[in-house]
């Protein structure tokens, strides 16, 4: 996996894959972000950023995140990068719920009326 980075106030920060406990914190922060407006958006986005940086900067406090000089464009981009790095946003060209074959293009969900090249063919029983 390619390491992701975010930029806030001209500083680059590494985003490392999160452990399950850190992912839980990120999901809670993401829930807080939903439907917010005004200053609450900044607070909730800061929690997402703090959670996203928790693996590479475990001692980073929410207050320290709020003290970073950053534009809202940087904050929005940082949240997007963090969600992608955590596997929480749809990857380009991939439909929701679509599985990706380890050695090929995405595979759609199985259709009962379709046969798979991997499955043995079955003949219909005579009527």
Q: pTM of the full predicted structure?
A: 0.67
Please write the tens of the pLDDT for every residue from 58-82: 999 999 999 999 999 999 999 999 9
In a domain, 94, yes or no: no
In a domain, 75, yes or no: yes
Helix (H, G, I), strand (E, B), or coil: what is residue 107? Answer: strand
Regions of the chain with pLDDT less than 50: 1, 95-102, 105-124
Q: What's the domain range around 74?
A: 4-88
Query: To 10 degrees, the CA torsion angle through 10, 15, 21, 24?
Result: 70
In a domain, 56, yes or no: yes
In a domain, 16, yes or no: yes
In a domain, 97, yes or no: no
In a domain, 122, yes or no: no
In a domain, 63, yes or no: yes
Helix (H, G, I), strand (E, B), or coil: what is residue 44? Answer: helix
Contact 51, 29 (CB under 8 A): yes
Q: How many domains does the chain divide into?
A: 1
């Amino acid at each position: 996996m390619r390491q992701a980075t975010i930029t806030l106030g001209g500083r680059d920060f590494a985003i490392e894959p999160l452990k399950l406990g850190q992912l839980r914190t990120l999901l809670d922060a993401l829930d807080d972000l939903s439907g917010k407006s005004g200053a609450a958006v900044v607070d909730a986005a800061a929690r997402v950023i703090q959670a996203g940086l928790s693996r590479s900067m475990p001692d980073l406090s929410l207050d320290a995140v709020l003290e970073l000089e950053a534009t809202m464009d940087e904050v929005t981009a940082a949240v997007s990068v963090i969600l992608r790095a955590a596997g929480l946003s749809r990857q380009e060209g991939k439909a929701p719920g679509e599985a990706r074959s380890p050695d090929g293009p995405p595979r759609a969900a199985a259709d009962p009326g379709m046969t798979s090249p991997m499955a043995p063919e079955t003949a219909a029983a005579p009527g």
